[in-house]
Amino acid sequence: MSEKTSRILSRGLLHTVIILIAVLWLIPTIGVLITSFRPAQDVANSGWWTVLGNMFDSARLTLRNYNMVLSRLGVGRAFLNSFIITIPATIIPLSIALLAAYALGWMKFFGHTFVFMALIALLVVPLQMTFIPVLRIFNKLGLAGSFPGIWLAHSGYGLPLAIYMLYNSISGLPKELFDSASIDGASSFHTFLYIVLPLSVPIVASLAIFQFLWVWNDLLVALIYLGGTPDVAPITVQISSLVGSYGQDWELLTAAVFISIVPSLIIFFSLQRYFVRGILAGSVKG
């Protein structure tokens, strides 16, 4: 067997394994999607895979489940609340982290080493240790159960990792770029705006994916700082309440779950071209 033939067979085997893993990963999502369109009687009497045997017969599929969860069970309001929570809780920490990483990477100031070591230490602090003291502070300031409170909480929890990853990327940029900008009379802000920011797009996009998915899918932090107030509860909290109230109505639960995962899928696939580039950014210097 020639080397070229061996390479083709190896690549074909690799692609087959990747496709198989992708199909297995998609099966639960497909099951949730199909179940969300089925009437309650069909869900109780047969599995979702029976629909695949008669794909061209859509008579038994219905939008009633989505209409029910969006209009009567409060999922529509919770879906909007999740966007109100997630978008600022993604933009705020990334904006602060970019400035902090630039300062740590290319500016010398008093306490530079201490700040960096404190940042590393914060990476290993469990979130659960902060819930009680932070919640007490929020109660005194009137931030508990409000959108600004949850924005601050998610921003604080996401900042250490975001700063660290951005620092690894920004500190690895060629020094000549900054020397040339300094010679041309560019200020620190203009250097950041026109040099650092454009070159950091892959890692920023990658971090945006992580932060968005983490905040969007978060249940614990939302329960601690928002409670079960319907006016501010995100979709994860609303779905958890549906499990208790409608635990047997799988068609309603799957409709609510699929609504909740659609934004995550859109964000991931729309930014996936930056994902691997962002993960590798800063891993190799020089």
Q: Where in the chain are the domains?
A: 3-62, 72-280
Highest mean pLDDT among 150-154, 231-235, 274-278: 150-154
* Burial zone of 41 (CB within 10 Å; 0-12 exposed, 13-18 middle, 19+ buried): exposed
Say what the pLDDT of residue 245 is: 61
Asked if 237 contacts 77 with a C-beta cutoff of 8 angstroms, the reply is: no
Within 13 Å of residue 122, how many CA atoms lie on the same side as its CB?
A: 16
Of 23, 25, 30, 24, the C-alpha closest to 51 is: 30
Distance, first Cα to last Cα, the chain: 40
Instruction: Please check the confidence at residue 285 and state whether its pLDDT lies above 50.
Output: no
Instruction: Please check the confidence at residue 208 and state whether its pLDDT lies above 80.
Output: yes
Q: What is 72-280's CATH topology?
A: MetI-like fold (1.10.3720)
Say what the pLDDT of residue 94 is: 94
* Secondary structure (3-state) at 4: helix
Say what the pLDDT of residue 134 is: 93
- CA-to-CA separations, 89 to 32, 82, 149, 167, in angstroms, rounded: 28, 10, 10, 20
> Which two structure tokens, joined as six digits, stand for 191?
């250097």
Q: Which residue has the tokens 């300062």?
A: 103
Q: Which residue has the tokens 């920011």?
A: 197
- Residues 224-265 pLDDT 10s: 998 877 789 899 998 888 876 655 777 888 888 889 988 888
- Residues 70-107 pLDDT 10s: 887 888 899 999 999 999 999 999 999 999 999 998 88
- pTM for the whole structure: 0.83
What are the residues whose beta carbons fall under 8 Å from the beta carbon of 79, sequence distance 6 or more?
70, 235, 259, 260
Say what the pLDDT of residue 2 is: 61
